[in-house]
Amino acid sequence: MNAPNRTTDRWTKSDAVETPTPKEEPLILPGPGGYLIHKGMANPERPAPKTPKAGAAKPEGDTTKAPPQRQKADERVEAPVTERAPTGPEARRTESSPPGNAPVRDVPDRKADNQKEPAKREPGSGGPGDPRDPFHRRREPERHERMLRSAMAAVRRNMIVVYLLTAATNVLVLAIPIYLFQISDRVLTSRSVDTLVMLTIIIAGAVIFQSIFDAIRRLILMRTAVLYATRLGAPILSAAAHASLHGTGREYQTLGDLQTVRGFLVSPTLLAFLDVPFAPLFILAIFLIHPMLGMVVIVTALVLTVIALANQRATAAPFGEANMAQAKANQHLDSMSRNSQVINAMAMVPEAVRIWGRDTAASLTAQVRAQDRNVAFGAISRAVRLLTQVGILGLGAWLAIDGDLTGGMVIAASIIAGRAFSPIEGSIEGWNSFILTRGALGRIRSLMLATENQFEKLRLPNPEGRLDVERLLYVPGGTKQVVLNGISFTLDPGQTLAVIGNSGAGKTTLGKMLVGSILPTSGSVRLDLMDLRNWDPRQLGENIGYLPQDVQLFPGSIKDNIGRMRSDATDAQIHAAAVLADVHNMIASLPHGYETMVAADGTPLSGGQKQRIALARAFFGNPRLVILDEPNSNLDVAGDKALARAITQAKESGITVVVITQKPALLNVVDKIMLLTDGRVGLFGAREQVMAKIDGGGKPTAPPPAPKAGGPT
């Protein structure tokens, strides 16, 4: 007899018979320790719990009886047929007693199940698609603007303390001039040893406290630099990763800007800038000694300010040119490091060195021009400072001759004037560092504020793998070239699609769009009827596998690469991914197996081995959607066969696979084929139909438009 159809898909309706709308009641899904009840969702049938694997431990508190794993010959059940859901008395009769000889199934009590504590599981188990864990753990959303404000607030709190210590340090600097003044005008005239001893003790204490305060503020600045780097390092890297999807890749250079800010926070230039606001304090002290000396110091301070402004205007442009040229040189250097094998094989070293040297020379030329001007203005300011001190001594001596000042006052005024001019001179010499740091802070702020915040999104049940592409249009920013135009198709869970076409047809762009790496200009890509942009990013990434055309591995072991560098990846998950991708035997042939260390360029693996390791990484965690872009471009015949077996196994596991390929070897293992022509769908349909039209030169046929989200499939 036919077994009742118990579907677990609550997103779609049956294609055979329209099911009447049942009475609204909580939806019951199988979960750890019993059933998960979701109120407000109508479904009159309870999906049957999946059969646990042989030998698997039964979750604690689970009273559900597992169905037998094998059917006896006389109890064989035919494939379920979609039936109209019973209603009225028939439905009540079906609920109360099973028809025929069907065994009575124990249904756990909802209240009891809700009170049971879910069974604990090891980290990494129950990954994507695991029926014991249909929902993912919530993680804190990334709010880059909030992180930036938090880091800047922490820096400001520390800078307030530093500024208070700077104020105390500058006040205590006056201890030495006061000491000289008192010795010259009191101790030497009174010849009092007691006064000398007490005065020396007081001034020595002031000097000790000044040194302690100065050391403390330097230590705080050092820790502030570390705090700033640790608070913003990970957010900047995350923001750069998100922004690079729609940018030029230069966003990662913002990490270098972070180091620039960190270096400025511990540099003497910052201390000079902190001391500049206290220059009026020393000028006031000189005014108290004699107004004429104070006027000389004010005029000198104004002259030094004009010199500083002129230095800023004269060096801003060449410093900017130097920074831009150096950034280009760094880009070429990074490109050389990534393409070292090509450069050496094709004897391109002289050209690479010439290009790098050209940009570096331009940077050095502009930097030398700016430094020449900076040094010139620094020398002028230093000369003005020294001449002012000489003038103060001469004017003070003339005033002392007239009896308006004492010798101690003249010496004290000269020392205080030097202290007033010192931070101004230091600020002029360190102006380049200030300009670089200001630009770095601006780029950090722009990146953090421009990157879209990763707000917390609803954690949906793990997808089953249905893919809906609706009227995709993609025009790259800043251009008018249409790369994709009107792409629409639908894949059911477990179906496989091969995307073929000439170079430049838009195949790779479509693959990137299917995994969410780039966003369409219009249209949508939906996984289980939900737009990719509305999935939780972490959950979506765990349920998607991607093998790009340009395969890149991470520095580490093969085990780490297959496990996507996750610390909670279990050995069983890594082995399962390798077996599913049919690369276990290849890994076993390596001297160190899964512990073999690889570099960023894949050394010591060959191109085909690197591609197969990346294929296993794509299948890690039992994803529901896998996109393979030219997965056999570096494979030999044996690798092609292994890849075909992997795609077949993935299909049997219910994984939806999209293969972008130019080789006909993989077309025999797919269900559907799509031919792209200049960004449009030329052919789409079942493999046999499309191959017949391609071989016979049939007229291209576009696929039917994808159904709207939420509609019948």
- pLDDT by residue (tens digit) across 195-234? 889 999 999 999 999 999 999 999 999 999 998 888 888 7
Q: Is 292 left (phi over 0), alpha (psi -120 to 50) or beta?
A: alpha
Q: What is the pairing mode between strands 522-527 and 530-531? A: antiparallel
Question: What percentage of the chain's residues is helix, strand, coil (to nearest 5)?
Answer: 55, 10, 35
CA distance 369 to 429: 15
Let me know: does 563 contact 592? Beta carbons within 8 Å.
no
How many other C-beta atoms can be found within 10 angstroms of the C-beta atom of residue 451? Answer: 22
Q: What three-state secondary structure class fits 144?
A: helix
Q: What is the mean pLDDT of residues 643-660?
A: 90
DSSP annotation of 274: H
CA distance 449 to 462: 32
CA distance 422 to 170: 12
Residue 538 clears pLDDT 70, i.e. is over it: yes
- Condensed to tens digits (0 to 9), the pLDDT of residues 493-527 reads 999 999 998 888 889 999 999 988 888 889 999 99
Q: What backbone phi and psi angles, to 5 degrees, belong to 144?
A: -65, -40
CATH of 144-450, one of 2.60.40.10, 2.60.40.420, 3.65.10.10, 1.20.1560.10: 1.20.1560.10
Let me know: does 547 contact 628? Beta carbons within 8 Å.
yes
- 138-147, 259-268, 400-409: least confident range: 138-147
Q: What is the mean pLDDT of residues 97-111?
A: 41
Mean pLDDT of the chain: 77
CA distance 25 to 18: 19
Q: What is the pairing mode between strands 34-38 and 27-31? A: antiparallel
- 414-428, 454-468, 583-597: least confident range: 454-468
Range picked from 5-19, 92-106, 115-129, 144-158 for highest mean pLDDT: 144-158
Confidence of residue 50 (pLDDT cuts 50, 70, 90): very low
Query: Would you state the pLDDT for residue 563?
Result: 92
Confidence of residue 11 (pLDDT cuts 50, 70, 90): very low
Q: What is the pairing mode between strands 656-660 and 496-501? A: parallel
Range picked from 44-48, 115-119, 247-251, 537-541 for highest mean pLDDT: 537-541
Let me know: does 591 contact 561? Beta carbons within 8 Å.
no
DSSP annotation of 530: E
CA distance 267 to 253: 22
Residue 105 clears pLDDT 50, i.e. is over it: no
Let me know: does 53 contact 64? Beta carbons within 8 Å.
no
Q: Is 8 left (phi over 0), alpha (psi -120 to 50) or beta?
A: alpha
Q: What is the mean pLDDT of residues 612-621?
A: 91
CA distance 616 to 547: 9
Query: Would you state the pLDDT for residue 142?
Result: 53
Confidence of residue 35 (pLDDT cuts 50, 70, 90): very low
- 153-157, 273-277, 631-635, 656-660: least confident range: 631-635
* Structure-model confidence comparison of residues 10 and 453, the more confident one: 453
Indicate the domain borders of the chain. 1-52+77-119, 144-450, 467-696
pLDDT > 90: percent of the chain? 19
Q: At what angle do helices 291-338 and 431-450 cross, to 10 degrees?
A: 60
CA distance 697 to 658: 24
- 291-300, 337-346, 694-703: least confident range: 694-703
Place of tokens 């205590």: 172
Taken in order 158, 160, 163, 167, is the CA torsion positive or negative? negative
Confidence of residue 451 (pLDDT cuts 50, 70, 90): low
Cis check for the bond before 604: say yes or no (omega within 30 of 0): yes
Let me know: does 660 contact 630? Beta carbons within 8 Å.
yes
CA distance 72 to 147: 62
Q: What three-state secondary structure class fits 660?
A: strand
- 67-76, 306-315, 567-576: least confident range: 67-76
What token pair was written down for 191? 């010849």
Let me know: does 582 contact 646? Beta carbons within 8 Å.
yes
How many other C-beta atoms can be found within 10 angstroms of the C-beta atom of residue 255? Answer: 15
Let me know: does 113 contact 33? Beta carbons within 8 Å.
yes
Q: What is the mean pLDDT of residues 329-333?
A: 80
What token pair was written down for 529? 């009827």
Residue 317 clears pLDDT 80, i.e. is over it: yes
Confidence of residue 658 (pLDDT cuts 50, 70, 90): very high
- 349-358, 422-431, 704-713: least confident range: 704-713
Place of tokens 């000489």: 390
Residue 544 clears pLDDT 60, i.e. is over it: yes
Range picked from 16-20, 401-405, 598-602 for highest mean pLDDT: 401-405
Residue 693 clears pLDDT 90, i.e. is over it: no
- 244-253, 342-351, 650-659: least confident range: 244-253
Dihedral over alpha carbons 512, 580, 687, 713 (to 10 degrees): -70
DSSP annotation of 594: G
| Residue type (1 letter), 69 | Q
- 58-62, 454-458, 474-478: least confident range: 58-62
CA distance 416 to 303: 18
CA distance 586 to 582: 8
* Structure-model confidence comparison of residues 348 and 373, the more confident one: 373
Residues 6+ apart with CB under 8 A from 82: 5, 14, 15, 16, 17
CA distance 84 to 82: 7
DSSP annotation of 403: T
| Residue type (1 letter), 488 | S
Range picked from 46-60, 284-298, 685-699 for highest mean pLDDT: 284-298
CA distance 515 to 532: 8
CA distance 585 to 436: 53
Domain 467-696 falls under CATH 3.40.50.300: yes
Q: What is the mean pLDDT of residues 28-43?
A: 42
Closest alpha carbon to 542 in 134, 237, 252 = 134
* Structure-model confidence comparison of residues 411 and 4, the more confident one: 411
